[in-house]
Amino acid sequence: MSTRTAWLTLLMAGVFEIGYALSVGGSQGFTIRTWSAVAVVFFLLTLWALSRALRTIDVSTGYAVWAGLGAVGAAVLGPVFFNETLTAAKAAWLAVIITGVIWLKLADRPTPDR
């Protein structure tokens, strides 16, 4: 898998992770069957995509990016789907996470051989 494909797969894993986090919230402790089934599907998809991406991307970088995308996505979309709030302070710290994810991606660029 090329590096570009691995990063796109990691991005897809992050989207699946957001879906998983939101559907777990909607399942209300796995008591609502539809949300619970959706959570299981997203869980399997996110693990599959993450494992594929980590064949190429270092585990330390890939896991941090995946977790960061999931956290930011769930925090931003939580107020859209549930009775949650997104304060200015939360938004500022989410911006820090996004900045970290971008810098991790930039740090993953291969260095030219000498």
Flag whether 114 is in a domain. Answer: no
Flag whether 68 is in a domain. Answer: yes
Flag whether 112 is in a domain. Answer: no
**pTM listed for this prediction:** 0.84
29: Cα separation from own chain's centroid: 21
- Range of the structural domain that residue 58 is part of: 3-107
Flag whether 77 is in a domain. Answer: yes
Flag whether 83 is in a domain. Answer: yes
**CA 109 to CA 34: how far, in whole Å?**
41
pLDDT digits over 57-100, tens only? 999 899 999 999 999 999 999 999 998 999 999 999 999 988 98
Flag whether 88 is in a domain. Answer: yes
Split into its structural domains, the chain has a count of: 1
Flag whether 113 is in a domain. Answer: no
pLDDT digits over 15-53, tens only? 999 999 999 999 999 999 999 999 999 999 999 999 999
